[in-house]
């Protein structure tokens, strides 16, 4: 019991530190680039503003607000006020870096920065059109130009938080191993260890073969990254709940890592199998190289499928859970009785789906790691390794 309490204490300290660092990072542009701002008022992180009008409840909008990326992190709405964190916008435009808080761009407001020549550069987030919801530069003639946008968006912010937590947790676990040596694991070490052994013995070893140790760090990183973000994504409170693994860019990056590792470590045999596929009739390879084309296309399809599977599963899960919760409000708007009646059922269903999502969080991490290890296994196969 003492250990658990101690661990909780440590964790709390870490979480507070992490939050503080994030707060600093988010506010950094406000201080550093203060001279870029025309109105030099005190930087504020929390933005409270009064709702313009009572909106009709829109479930689709709410759900999409949740699963889509945005420039600020909406925490909750309290007494008609949105409480959200304004995240920094960082854009590269014509070789120059602009960084400012997203609070300047609310509701179509324009933000005027100055470039090194002293000219005004106007940024805004259009409400409609091609660049809806994205930061654009307004050209002199009114044309919209999308700059190179590396803003710390909600997803990036969540990503940085979860990555920091992930690193902290694993360094703690590694420290535990260094200190406890070969004795039985304890605390968080005991939580992580079965998963590490599972990835090693059930995923890496049988699918890769004798070279598995080379790929093990990547497989473990991917597995824990996905399962960690999946589970954090299910926690509805700040600083968690950002839809990280349900974002196609995130899953695409993971898939690209797998793709590059597969093809950079691929042995001669692997490439020979692609261009001279064994076990098919020769006329499928010559004169029309049908099989090689299929194989090469397959190489690129695999990571795409990896990315889409993870993204779709997690996004779908979030949509379903939010859908059940929204059901209460949709019916509640019609009549309070209907909302009350359906809330019990809806809540139970949401809880059920939430539990299901926990399972999916694990399964998707498993599937991604398993498929990655299968691809690595094919790449690492030796000449006579059938």
Partner 1 sequence: MELITPDFGLLFWMTLAFGIVFFILAKFAFPVINDMLKKREEEINSALEKAERTHQEMEKLQADNELLLAQAREERDKILNEARQIHDKFIEAAKSKANEEKERIIENAKETIEHEKMAATTEIKNQIAGISIKVAEKVLKKQLESDKEQLDYINRILEEIENKNQK
Binding region for partner 1 (CB under 8 A): 64, 67-69, 132-133, 148-153, 155-156, 159-160, 163, 166-167, 170-171, 173-174, 177-178, 181-182, 192-193, 196-197, 200, 213, 216-218, 220-221, 224-225, 247-250, 252-254, 256-257, 311, 315
Residue identified by tokens 């859908």 is 323
Q: Which is nearer to partner 1, 102 or 151 (CB)?
A: 151
Query: Roughly how many angstroms between the first and final C-alpha of the chain, as a whole number?
Result: 51
Q: How far is the CB of 222 from partner 1 (least distance, A)?
A: 8
Sign of CA dihedral 33, 39, 43, 47: negative
Q: How far is the CB of 253 from partner 1 (least distance, A)?
A: 4
Give the torsion through C-alpha atoms of 367, 368, 369, 372, to 10 deg: 120
Q: Which is nearer to partner 1, 133 or 340 (CB)?
A: 133
**In angstroms, rounded to a whole number, what is the distance separating the alpha carbons of residues 370 and 377?**
10
Residues 6+ apart with CB under 8 A from 250: 155, 159, 229, 244, 311
Q: Which is nearer to partner 1, 228 or 366 (CB)?
A: 228
Sign of CA dihedral 145, 146, 149, 152: positive
Q: Which is nearer to partner 1, 173 or 326 (CB)?
A: 173
Are the C-beta atoms of 295 and 273 separated by less than 8 Å?
yes
Q: How far is the CB of 149 from partner 1 (least distance, A)?
A: 4
Structure tokens at 60: 């689709």
Q: Which is nearer to partner 1, 64 or 300 (CB)?
A: 64
Q: Which is nearer to partner 1, 155 or 364 (CB)?
A: 155
Q: How far is the CB of 284 from partner 1 (least distance, A)?
A: 33
Q: Which is nearer to partner 1, 226 or 291 (CB)?
A: 226
Q: Which is nearer to partner 1, 36 or 315 (CB)?
A: 315
Q: How far is the CB of 257 from partner 1 (least distance, A)?
A: 7
H helical segments located in the chain: 2-32, 59-67, 154-180, 188-198, 205-208, 212-234, 248-265, 268-275, 290-334, 336-380
Phi, psi of 122 (to 5 degrees): -105, 130
Best CA proximity match to 227, nearest among 206, 203, 245: 245
Give helix 268-275 / helix 290-334 axis angle, nearest 10°.
90
Q: How far is the CB of 242 from partner 1 (least distance, A)?
A: 11
Q: How far is the CB of 115 from partner 1 (least distance, A)?
A: 20
H helical segments located in 283-335: 290-334
């Amino acid at each position: 019991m003492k250990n658990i309490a101690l661990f909780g204490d440590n964790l709390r300290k870490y979480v507070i530190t992490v939050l503080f660092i994030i707060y600093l990072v988010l506010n950094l542009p406000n201080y550093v680039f203060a001279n870029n701002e025309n109105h030099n008022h005190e930087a504020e992180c929390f933005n409270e503003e009064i709702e313009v009008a009572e909106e009709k409840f829109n479930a689709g909008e709410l759900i999409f607000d949740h699963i889509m990326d945005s420039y600020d992190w909406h925490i909750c709405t309290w007494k008609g006020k949105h409480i959200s964190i304004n995240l920094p916008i960082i854009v590269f435009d014509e070789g120059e870096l602009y960084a400012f808080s997203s609070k300047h761009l609310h509701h179509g407001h324009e933000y005027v920065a100055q470039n090194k020549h002293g000219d005004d550069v106007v940024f805004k987030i259009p409400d409609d059109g091609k660049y809806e919801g994205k930061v654009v530069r307004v050209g002199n003639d009114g044309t919209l130009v999308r700059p190179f946008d590396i803003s710390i968006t909600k997803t990036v912010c969540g990503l940085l938080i979860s990555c920091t937590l992930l690193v902290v947790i694993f360094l703690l676990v590694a420290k535990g191993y260094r200190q406890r040596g070969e004795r039985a694991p304890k605390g968080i070490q005991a939580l992580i260890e079965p998963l590490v052994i599972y990835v090693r013995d059930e995923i890496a070893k049988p699918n890769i073969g004798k070279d598995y140790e080379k790929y093990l760090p990547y497989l473990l990183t991917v597995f824990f990254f996905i399962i960690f973000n999946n589970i954090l994504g299910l926690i509805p409170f700040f600083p968690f709940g950002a839809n990280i693994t349900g974002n196609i860019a995130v899953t695409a990056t993971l898939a690209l890592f797998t793709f590059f590792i597969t093809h950079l470590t691929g042995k001669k045999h692997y490439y020979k199998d692609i261009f001279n596929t064994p076990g098919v009739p020769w006329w499928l390879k010559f004169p029309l190289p049908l099989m090689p084309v299929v194989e090469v296309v397959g190489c690129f399809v695999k990571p795409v499928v990896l990315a889409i599977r993870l993204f779709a599963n997690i996004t779908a899960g979030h949509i379903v859970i939010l859908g059940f919760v929204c059901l209460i409000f949709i019916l509640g708007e019609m009549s309070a009785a209907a909302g009350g009646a359906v809330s019990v059922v809806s809540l139970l269903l949401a809880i059920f789906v939430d539990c299901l999502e926990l399972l999916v969080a694990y399964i998707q991490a498993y599937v991604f790691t398993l498929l990655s290890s299968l691809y690595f296994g094919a790449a690492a196969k030796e000449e006579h390794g059938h």
